[in-house]
Structure 1
């Protein structure tokens, strides 16, 4: 019996199928690999999608990936430059699976189109900086898990020409106030910065922040006492440009007095997330007496530093919403802080937020585009 002739699909149709498959994150890697094995035509259409954001969260997957992207000397090499297809590379799940030289070499192989990079904890070192400096298409750089001390001036020099970089998370060992770093320019488009490590409170008020900075996160800082946090927040530049501030529960030295300083220094914030257990009644007392009201539209009580409880009453929050927080539309609570009593009082907070929105609508004649964005929500 004669075999049926093979059907031929136009390449445009195959690319359409591949792009649809690529959007499904459940079995994306496995399915795209299967597509590459269908034929030469399917391989040509699917290979770029396969390597665009490789899943390398295990040692075996990482080994196979590196042997393909950066084969050992003398090994057979692919005619295609597979590293040029990589746009997102997340190595944050890896610990002992790489080496300093391999991480640096791998960065060198994928530098052409790499846009998002999350570094591994142990094998990203100062030796990786020359390769990192050539990844000029980076938009998001996450070094937050890096343990090896990297001099801040050297890191800043390596990324100073990254014109597309908008988000940066610094290593845990960062020391921000090394004087020589002030002469090195920040990436011009850097908007979101996460600080870890430590800084000198005597020098931080004159610290040169990224000129386009609008969002700042503090996580794994060694000392966020009243003095240190006050020195950081007192920067005139931050008071002018900063719109989002997140203080994680994973910081040392945070006190309620530290949180109380935020409204005075940064009245133009539109988003504020702080450890829920570090907010007490005095925070709302201060806010109730502020005029004009703060610009805040979102207020989050995040994961706690120490105690799994809130140290303020719903009544205090509601009073503040009616006075110094009249622009707030959303209030978030970490799941760990939600007690049975607070759960029953959510409706009261919701009602106040919706009343405030109705008042804004009556004053301006226009409301928010999505009413679902008004009210209380839980943080994952």
Structure 2
């Protein structure tokens, strides 16, 4: 298994990134900081910082993904270099993406992994806080289980799978407010919204999803797959559809659980968010650093991968699943095994 390198997060919109030898130099109003390129696997810029063409070329040459994200957490663009890996693997990926049955088969695996991990989040809460599980919560869990059973029984059809996933996600997020235990007056969740998020919980979820999206796209490129050609999400110019596919199974375990932990342990408070005149709610610039610290700490935790039976850092999960997906596409294994947390 590969070694996990660092990701550089640039959160100040008045920053400028440049190249100095083998270093990435971030210029700020109060000075400069340099980061050796060989220690990085990715750079994520929030807001609208600038970057020199020389820095972009260095990142492309070293295989360091450089992503730009709006202040609302919306993906803007990604700078990458030459495509790595076996061209035969990518050709096979494109063939499967054009095959409706094969696309549906993979889509079903991604979404079944997602629903199983969502169910684990719901059951974990019920195990730890049985006194807080109302009748409404139990009814929602049963409805969610019904969606899982529908997915298991359905014929391979991408549109059907999308419909089941949509209903399951609606049920899951209708229960999400029950999982938030602290500062309910502030952190009250009524449903998923984005671009821009209009409440604190959605702002936090969107931000962490962006971080995960960057890591997944980088992992797919590392194993030689094309992040833009997916099986569940429709292809659009500039959209990393395959990264969105693979993210589905990882969101509950990597992102949702982290968000809940930060809220319930009061790492974040109401003062960590700001509300814009247009109703958008964003993380305060100083609080972004807090979230990034927790994200990096989470990624360094160790787990035993249920399929590979190997201990690895949680931050390497996107790479491990990308590796398994590449093996399936090559025909080395009979099916793609989605990650399901134990």
Q: TM-score, normalised by structure 1?
A: 0.23
Q: TM-score, normalised by structure 2?
A: 0.25
Q: Does 1 or 2 have the higher relative contact order (CA < 8 Å, sep 6+)? A: 2
Query: Larger Rg: 1 or 2?
Result: 1
The answer to which structure has the higher helix fraction is 2
